Structure 1
Amino acid sequence: MTPEQMRDASLLELFSLEAEAQTQVLSAGLMALERNPTQADQLEACMRAAHSLKGAARIVGVDAGVSVSHVMEDCLVSAQEGRLYLQPEHIDALLQGTDLLMRIATPGSANAGPQDVDAYVALMNRLLDPNAVTARVAPPEFDVSQLLLAPTADTPAVAFSEPPAQQPEPAPAPRSQRLTESGERVLRVTAQRLNSLLDLSSKSLVETQRLKTWLVNLQRLKRLQGNSLRALDSLSEQLKVVGLSHEAEEALIEARRILADSQQLFSEQTAELDEYSWQAGQRAQLLYDTALACRMRPFADVLVGQERMVRDLGRALGKQIRLEIEGEKTQVDRDVLEKLEAPLTHLLRNAADHGIETPEQRLLAGKPAEGVIRLRISHQAGLLVLDLSDDGAGVDLERLRRAIVARQLSTAETVAQLSEEELLSFLFLPGFSLRDTVTDVSGRGVGLDAVQHMVRLLRGAIVLEQTSAQGSHFHLEVPLTLSVVRSLVVEVADEAYAFPLAHIERMCELQSDDIVQLEGRQHFWYEGRHVGLVAASQLLQRPPAQGNDDTLKVVVIRERDAVYGVAVDRFIGERTLVVLPLDHRLGKVQDISAGALLDDGSAVLIVDVEDMLRSVDKLLNTGRLERIDRHHRQAAELTRKRILVVDDSLTVRELQRKLLINRGYDVAVAVDGMDGWNALRAEHFDLLITDIDMPRMDGIELVTLLRRDNRLQSMPVMVVSYKDREEDRRRGLDAGADYYLAKASFHDDALLDAVVELIGGAQT
């Protein structure tokens, strides 16, 4: 590439970036001018944006851009000078020019051809023709009396369905912003690096929490030193009675001096550690908060083009629609924003197409000719809340009943007894629509189904409410971020589990008298209904708890209409957890969505509430739901066989440990071969399970050392590795392993069967 070509490429890139910014100014200004065509500040902003684009296009030699921006500038200048009153057709043409400029300036897009540019220039010249009537006249006033004398038409029924196959194309979204509103420079950072930064900052926060434990231990040791010094003083007083030799008295004084010096040193070190712990905790928290903020974006990012889309759809349908937005600066995780764009588009199109009536129908109903769609975004209790409402016709419940019966989803007798909430739930079914024919905008019946599906993927909820002839209201709640989840941490069989607060109705403690038997199952009374009671230990495949608590701790979980009480052993408390995805090689772990680390560094598994509810239904359908025994049996103490699990992967290590503990084995873990070798020499184990590829000492070296040790050489060894090639299997067995198992077998009983084969059952 020649230097001239490189220079041209650089200029074209700069032109593309400028076009992104200036077309945004044009789109926003033109939307405002449509509501008030005489706003001087908006006219000035749009004219300057078109003028700047014309100059930039001329510099880089993009003649098409010069032509389009020139006729747009002429139109805006005429409006500024009062020679032209902007009508909706002028706004349509100017917005079309804005889209055309963006196509011209965007590399790799379907760039506009000469015929597109010529057609647009011809269109603008016609609109600017001084002989054209629409170029000069003021907007006509609507004659209400003529409307009242005109024949009326039935208001079309409201339906909710999919977006059109063809729709007015909104202005292209900007690819990036070089400056924030405050003028700060913006840099491009990959999502992977942001995730890594958040992961590292969360781990540093956990590590600083461990300093508190060390500080407590140091303070305890300082108290022991103080007690020792006082005990020595007491001993000295007692020995004075019997008399001491000079040498003994000197030794006693020296011991007291050493203890006093150590006491002073402990005090100084404790104070320093306390100060360091506080400062480190503050910095780690600030680092974590900053890293988390890097993933957050204003909700306005997903609204780019939405106002334009509503406006264009309204024009195409012959309706007057205004979109009002409140809370667009609300901060949301960028991953959540991406997933919300499609559902939000569905809901806005539904409101514009099905909710808002035509101007004639609205005036007959005593409403303003212009319909309003309101979108409110806010934070509530750690959730992102979207309230989208319109002042349209609402849902025709009678037509909805007829549609349900016509589609054979229920009988007429049953439908007649359904409540409004139950009727509206049918609108969320796949393929359901109130339209009899398919149009470009609706009729296929996948709109609200798609919205609900995406909201569920975000671990959120959606509710529809309506008032006949007054409009509909959608209420959405989704997590603010997918990286962090506010949870209730509980204990089940000495293991920590986290229930996301978004799915928890409440937590309660039940007395024995509160639990009743209905149809062979346990229930308790909650909000005027009997709620089924299940044991978390059975759902999570953990051994039943041993204890004699007076009350039963219960977490009430809900997913739509399904409500159950899950009995746990203990409430640990509410925590904000950084989500750590499970290793994708493990596949879907039943009832578990992800992992996290608590403040002390211990692992906790985050419950997948939807999956857990499906597990409850499965147990109910198969009749295998166990009764919660309120009189815990006192099991005899039995000697359990011990197993050492050595693996450098936290996920794999924890999974193996839980599998084995559930079968009654006593399990210890080591993070690599060196750690495992130290554990083998220090404690007794009945079986070693080890990975191969690990830092410091791999599994082959560990097995080799074990077979050379006279005390350990007879211990059974199982190698568990992702490597499943024959040469790798042979290498492990040649080193002295008794069993070689691929980690892909974790989802069946292969691991447990192999353990039983090598050392037998868990207890002796």
Structure 2
Amino acid sequence: MTPEQMKDASLLELFRLEAEAQTQALGRGLLVLEREPRRADELEACMRAAHSLKGAARIVGLDSAVQVAHVMEECLVAAQEGRLLLTPEHIDALLAGTDILLHVAATDAARAEQASQAVPGMVQRLQELLGTPAPKPAPKPSVALPVEPEPQVAPKAQPVAEAQPSSEPKPVADAPRRRASEEGSERVLRVTAERLNQLLDLSSKALVDSQRLQPQLAALQRLKRLQASASRLLDGTRDVAGNSLDPQAQAFLADARRLVGECQQVLGEQIAELDAFAWNAGQRAQNLYDSALACRMRPFADVLGGQARMVRDLGRELGKSVRLEVDGVSTQVDREVLEKLEAPLTHLLRNAVDHGIESPEARRLAGKPEQGTIRLLARHHAGMLVLDLRDDGAGVDLERLRQGVVRRGLATEETAARLSEDELLAFLFLPGFSLREQVTEVSGRGVGLDAVQHMVRQLRGGVRMEQRAGQGTHFHVEVPLTLSVVRSLVVEIGGEAYAFPLAHIERMRSLAREEIVQVEGRQQFWHEDRHVGLVAAHQLLQRPEGSTPKGDIPLVLLRERDNIYGVAVERFIGERTLVVMPLDARLGKVRDVSAGALLDDGTPVLILDVEDMLRSVEKLLASGRLERIDGQGRQSAGQRKRVLVVDDSLTVRELQRKLLLGRGYEVAVAVDGMDGWNALRSEPFDLLITDIDMPRMDGIELVELVRRDARLQGLPVMVVSYKDREEDRRRGLDAGADYYLAKASFHDEALLDAVADLIGGA
């Protein structure tokens, strides 16, 4: 909230800000006091927070909040003075009091009313734990009926007698300023997420634009070299001619040498200036982008609000003693990633408390401390946020899990007996799978780990689970530090650039053609002691096959649990950090694509949705229509090239078919455009030859459909028609035909030569 907004805000709104900050401090301190009930600094901090809230509540006239804060303060003062030793029951009541203080002034009227109704019971509970007798008339207010004359205290008057100037802020509006000073004495301004996204988008485009100066510099350097060559040629001409040139020619030659020299000097100066400008512009653009990105980054601690409290409360509800230890709270993460991490992190923590940590009796029998520990570590690694969550519980009962797999019909007893530990643990991530026999408020519905995996994958990350019997469970989560940029492997597919996010790639490698084998009608290769299926990337993306890579086949290996596939691409362009540009929402979900980006030179690139691609691979395998790939990534040699002839004239069809068959091509025929379109969609062809005037669908419509289809748009097309006017020829070529041949003038060799020009020999 800006200072201008603070001036216009009501006292109640300012109290909400104060309550939010102080209750967070109370919550953290009380969890520490539960472990170390005599820790003086935490007792002092919690007492002051309760005292500040009491004074702030008085100013805004919230009597119920005054009562709760007052009795909480008395409890903490008694602990400070040694008259009371805080127990978990005291902490329960004090934490419940912080909840009431947070909600009593909520904008939601129902929530505020509910909190106010809970005040009398909460005050009585704390007084009973404190051992305080029934309140007597005294200078301090009674929790049931305040004795102090509240109406005599004006909102802007001096604080009441209990509020010490040294411990309570003058106005409540100072709370945001105090929080700003605690964060490094920097002014804190609230900016909408949309503004930050716009700033990051503009800065990323500025960064890309700054890189476009490099090709211009390279072109100027090439021009400078050409001018140097021209100067040398002029010098050579002068040396060869000697004195044989007349004076006028010698003057022209001297002027030409002088002008070339001046051009070289000017060009050299401009290159130096442009080089300096490009370097400075690149640095400024990079700094601008880094600063814009930093505005979106927040410490990992922001996602932990209430998690320690949730772990503690859930443990007590289940009759367990559990504490959460966190390391790496200052690790910087994108705000959007933090927001989306809260739900899966909560699932994992609740899972650890419910399924992992044993009861105090079971831990005592196992020789463990009665209090269980969950440790959460956040760190950066290779441009990713890595979360390691470990508990010191019992781990996973693998035999019980194996029986659960068989009982749910997911595997036979023989198959389940052969499953490895990793394969068994993978079942825990299936939708609806749970080891709980009965559904409770905490678990039993089988949505925990399935939801975690789904949400982590939405963040373009991954989750892995390990366990050690009797020693605990370990969840390893990796997600990008920011969704605004993604580290990717850029490859060429169908002559265009595509990007695989590195987080979803098993590895990249080159495959020698002699390593490809045929297994059950599919092409596979040997990798890590297993056969791996081979799929052409251009077929997956329904793109025409691009240039043929020479030598080994570039492969990207993708893994989903135990399934691994090799995707053949045309070449590796390199590893790049790409600024993510979301696709227009009007496009909906584009199959196999998650977003767009620009390379350093401004070339557009599509960022692939690897999970979607894996589903496309499975569908392609199920269809049985895999293209065969040889050692150079093309269809296997030895197969004759196929030509589709579309013409409504039986005579013309047969003439063309016989000519092409005689040259060694494989030929299929269609009687009109509709018949030809159905044939193209059901079978692969290397060339389409079509007439124009046909029933149901003419040749122009057929060519336009072919050019609009992603899978067929690279198919060579020849039009053979009786219409030989220039406008007819132009109409066919404009529709997308590669060759136009008039029937009136064509002969055998003309047709065959045109076919050979388009697709080569049979």
Provide the TM-score with structure 2 as the length reference.
0.77
Tell me: CA distance 1:403–1:666, structure 2 relative to 1, closer, same or farther (3 Å).
closer
* C-alpha distance in structure 2 between counterparts of 1:536 and 1:580, whole Å: 23
* 2:27 aligned with 1:27: yes
Aligned residue runs from structure 1 range 401-420, under 5 A: 401-420=402-421
Could you say if the C-alpha distance between residues 547 and 427 of structure 1 is closer, same or farther in structure 2, counting changes exceeding 3 Å?
closer
C-alpha distance in structure 2 between counterparts of 1:760 and 1:657, whole Å: 6
Amino acid corresponding to residue 714 of structure 2 in structure 1? G
Question: Greater CA deviation, 199-208 or 253-262?
Answer: 253-262
Provide the rounded CA distance (Å) in 2 between the counterparts of 1:618 and 1:243.
Answer: 78
What secondary structure does 2:252 align onto? helix
Aligned to 1:99: 99
**What displacement does 1:363 show?**
1.0
Q: For 2:260 and 2:309, how far apart are their aligned partners in 1? A: 79
Identity of aligned residues (%): 64
Tell me the amino acid that sits aligned with residue 713 of structure 2: R
Is the CA contact (8 Å cut-off) linking 2:405 and 2:411 kept in structure 1?
Answer: yes
Counterpart of 1:703?
Answer: none
Task: Name 1:613's counterpart in structure 2.
Answer: 614
Instruction: Quote the offset at 1:18 in angstroms.
Output: 1.1
For 1:118, which of 117, 120, 131 is the aligned residue? 120
**2:752 aligned partner:** none
CA offset digits 1:192-232 (Å, max 9, x no partner): 22222111111111111110011111111112222222222
1:506 match: 507
Query: Structure 1 residue 412: deviation in Å?
Result: 2.2
Is the 8 Å Cα contact of residues 547 and 570 (structure 2) preserved in structure 1?
no
Partner of 1:705: none
Verify the 8 A CA contact 2:15 2:56 in the aligned structure 1: yes
Q: Is the 8 A contact 1:665 1:763 kept in 2?
A: no
Query: How far is the alpha carbon of 1:248 from its aligned partner?
Result: 3.9
Q: 1:325-340 maps to which residues of 2 (within 5 A)?
A: 325-340=326-341
Partner of 1:238: 240
- 1:661, distance to aligned residue in structure 2 (A): 9.0
Q: Point out the more displaced range, 409-418 or 595-604.
A: 409-418
Cα 1:364–1:497 shift into 2, 3 Å: same
Contact kept? 1:638, 1:763, Cα under 8 Å:
no
| Structure 1 residues 43-192: aligned runs within 5 Å | 43-108=43-108, 110-112=111-113, 114-129=116-131, 181-192=183-194
Alignment equivalent of 2:209, drawn from 187, 207, 210: 207
Whole-angstrom CA distance in 2 between matches of 1:456 and 1:114: 42
Structure-2 separation of matches of 1:414 and 1:251: 92
Report which stretch shifted further, 219-228 or 358-367: 219-228
State the Cα RMSD in Å: 3.0
Q: In the alignment, which residue of structure 2 is the partner of 1:277? A: 278
| Aligned 8 A contact 1:356 1:391 in 2 | yes
Q: Which residue of 2 aligns with 1:38?
A: 38
Q: 1:420 to 1:198 in 2, by over 3 A?
A: same
Between 109-118 and 211-220, report the one with greater CA deviation: 109-118
Amino acid at match of 2:530: R
Contact 1:389 1:471 in 2 (8 A): yes
The superposition leaves residues 372-408 of structure 1 with CA deviations (integer Å, 9 ceiling, x where unpaired) of: 1111112222222111111111112222222222223
Gaps of 5+ in 1: 1-5, 133-173, 642-654, 668-685, 687-710, 717-754
Q: Which residue of 1 aligns with 2:569?
A: 568
- Give how far 1:114 is off: 4.5
Q: What is the alpha-carbon distance in structure 1 between the residues aligned to residue 363 and residue 549 of structure 2? A: 67
Match of 1:151 in 2: none
Shift in alpha-carbon separation, 1:350–1:50, aligned structure 2, 3 A? same
TM-score of the pair, normalised by structure 1: 0.76
Q: Structure 1 residues 623, 466: CA separation in 2 closer, same or farther (over 3 Å shift)?
A: same
Helix, strand or coil at the partner of 1:242: coil
Aligned residue in 2 for 1:195: 197
Q: Deviations over 1:337-378 (max 9, x none)?
A: 222111111111111122111212111111111111111112
Counterpart for residue 644 of structure 2: none
> Measured at CA, do residues 64 and 8 of structure 1 come closer, stay the same or move farther in structure 2, by a change above 3 Å?
farther
Q: CA deviation at 1:130?
A: 5.2
Matches within 5 A, 1:364-763: 364-547=365-548, 549-630=550-631, 659=709, 662-664=712-714, 759=735, 761-763=737-739
- Letter of the aligned partner of 1:198 in structure 2? L
Deviates most, 522-531 or 437-446: 437-446
Residue 567 of structure 1 and its aligned partner are, at CA, apart by 0.9
Q: Distance in 2 between matches of 1:532 and 1:548?
A: 20
Whole-Å separation in 2 of the counterparts to 1:656 and 1:210:
35
CA shift for structure 1 position 185: 2.1
Q: Are residues 177 and 410 of structure 1, via their aligned partners in 2, closer, same or farther at CA, if it must alter by over 3 Å?
A: farther
1:221 aligns to what? 223
Superposed displacement of residue 17, structure 1: 0.9
Q: Does the Cα contact within 8 Å between 1:194 and 1:295 map onto a contact in 2?
A: yes
Are the aligned partners of 2:388 and 2:474 in contact in 1 as well (CA < 8 Å)?
Answer: yes
Compared with structure 1, are the counterparts of its residues 187 and 365 closer, same or farther at alpha carbon in structure 2 (3 Å cutoff)? same
Deviations 1:302-321 (CA, angstroms, capped at 9, x unpaired): 11000000011112222111
Q: Which residue of 2 aligns with 1:160?
A: none
- CA distance, structure 2, for counterparts of residue 179 and residue 7 of structure 1: 19
Q: Residues 647-670 of structure 1, C-alpha deviation per residue, up to 9 Å, x if partnerless?
A: xxxxxxxx9998579513899xxx
| Aligned twin of 1:697 | none
Structure 2: runs of 5+ lacking an equivalent: 1-5, 135-175, 642-664, 666-685, 691-704, 720-725, 741-762
1: CA distance, partners of 2:83 / 2:194: 54
Larger RCO (CA within 8 A; separation ≥ 6): 1
Distance 1:273 1:661, change over 3 A: farther
CA distance in 1 between partners of 2:553 and 2:20 (Å): 60
| Partner Cα distance (2:457, 2:369) in 1 | 36
Structure having the higher Rg? 2
Question: What is the rounded CA distance, in whole Å, between the counterparts of 2:195 and 2:707 in structure 1?
Answer: 31
- 1:262 paired residue number: 263
Partners of 1:103 and 1:111 within 8 A in 2: yes
Residues 514 and 631 of structure 2 are in contact (CA less than 8 Å); yes or no, is this contact kept in structure 1?
A: no
Distance in 1 (alpha carbons) for counterparts of 2:9 and 2:276: 56
> Aligned in 2, Cα 1:357/1:243: closer, same or farther, shift over 3 Å?
closer
- Could you report, residue by residue, the CA deviation over 1:253-282 in whole angstroms, capped at 9, with x for unpaired residues? 333322222211111111000100100011
* Distance apart, 1:22 and its partner CA: 1.0
Q: Which letter maps to 2:433? A: F
Q: Deviations over 1:444-474 (max 9, x none)?
A: 2221121122122222222221111111111
- Distance in 1 (CA, whole Å) between partners of 2:333 and 2:8 is 38
Q: Is the 8 A contact 1:664 1:762 kept in 2?
A: no
Distance 1:638 1:618 in 2: 27
- Is the partner of 1:374 in helix, strand or coil? strand
